[in-house]
Each structure stands twice: as structure tokens, then as C-alpha cells.
Amino acid sequence: AHEHFITALIKQKILINIEKLQQIEPTSKDKTFVLFLPEGEIHDIGLLYVNYEILLRGYKSIYLGQSIPQKNLAELLGYSDNICFLSYLTVAPTQEKVGKYIKNFGEIIKDYKNPNFWIMGKQTMHVDQTTLPEYIKIFTSIKEITNNL
């Protein structure tokens, strides 16, 4: 119960600060970040914090949240000329399915003008990064992502 209480408190603080940042006009309009968790993934605190960092640096973001089907994400490709999809894979997809999941999403976005898919989380350690196209990047920390903004 303590873990859930603390997690809820941290989420509340992050959301309050995201709300404040959303009142400010973005200063970096060259890229829009679309943040989502894959189907079955509910661990959103890390992704919420990344959203805060993106907004803090003046970028536009679309936060979709938990358990989003891949096929629904393709609809967003017409929203902007430069979209960077960003996801956090803590428990889903599973170790056996994560490589296929990433490659499938790569196929969905590959013909887009400027495809970008940034991923982080525990499940990414089961992916052979040498087989991924250059537009799919795996990060090992939130700090590494913020350094690439």
C-alpha cells in the first residue's frame, strides 16, 4: 500500500507541473513527441516524467498514456512533419515479443517523411539493437533521452 501511495503522490506532482508547462506556448516547434505505452503496459510514471522534461524544453507533446494499440498510432502520422514516437517498455511486450513489437512499429512508420521511434525500459535489454533501423533508438536512461532533446 505504501508503494501505491508514494507512486500516486509522485504522479500528482508530475501532473501538476505538466499542467503548468502546458500553459506556455512551445518554443521548439520543429518536432512533436507522441508518448505512449504499449498494450498491456500500465507503468506510466517514467513516461509521465519524460513528458515533463520534453515540455520543460519547449517541445510539443501528445501524451496518449497506457495500453495503446500500435495500429492506432499510425493515425497520428499526418499530424506533423516531424513526429517522434516515444515509449517505455517495463513489462510489456514480454521478452519473447518485444523484438517483434519494435520491428512491427518500425514497419508502420518507415515510409513516413521523418520516422523516429525512441524506446526505453527494462524490456529493451532483450532487443538486438544491431538489427534495428537508424530511426529506432533505444535509450538506457531518462537522462540519455533528455540529452538528445
Q: What is the CATH number of the domain that holds 104?
A: 3.40.50.280
Question: For residue 114, what pLDDT is reported?
Answer: 87
**1 pLDDT exceeds 80?**
no
- Residues 79-126 pLDDT 10s: 888 999 999 999 899 899 999 999 999 999 998 888 999 999 999 998
How many Å apart are CA 25 and CA 55, to the nearest integer? 10
- Residues 13-72 pLDDT 10s: 999 999 999 999 999 988 999 999 999 998 999 999 999 999 999 999 999 999 999 989
Q: Write out the three cell numbers for 27.
A: 518554443
How many Å apart are CA 115 and CA 15, to the nearest integer? 28
Domain range for 65 is 2-147
* Full-model pTM: 0.91
**Enclosing H/E stretch for 117:** strand 117-120
Q: Which residues contact 133 (CB under 8 A, 6 or more apart)?
A: 106, 110
Average pLDDT, the chain: 93
Question: For residue 128, what pLDDT is reported?
Answer: 87
Three-class SS of residue 85? strand
Question: For residue 58, what pLDDT is reported?
Answer: 97
- The total domain count for the chain is 1
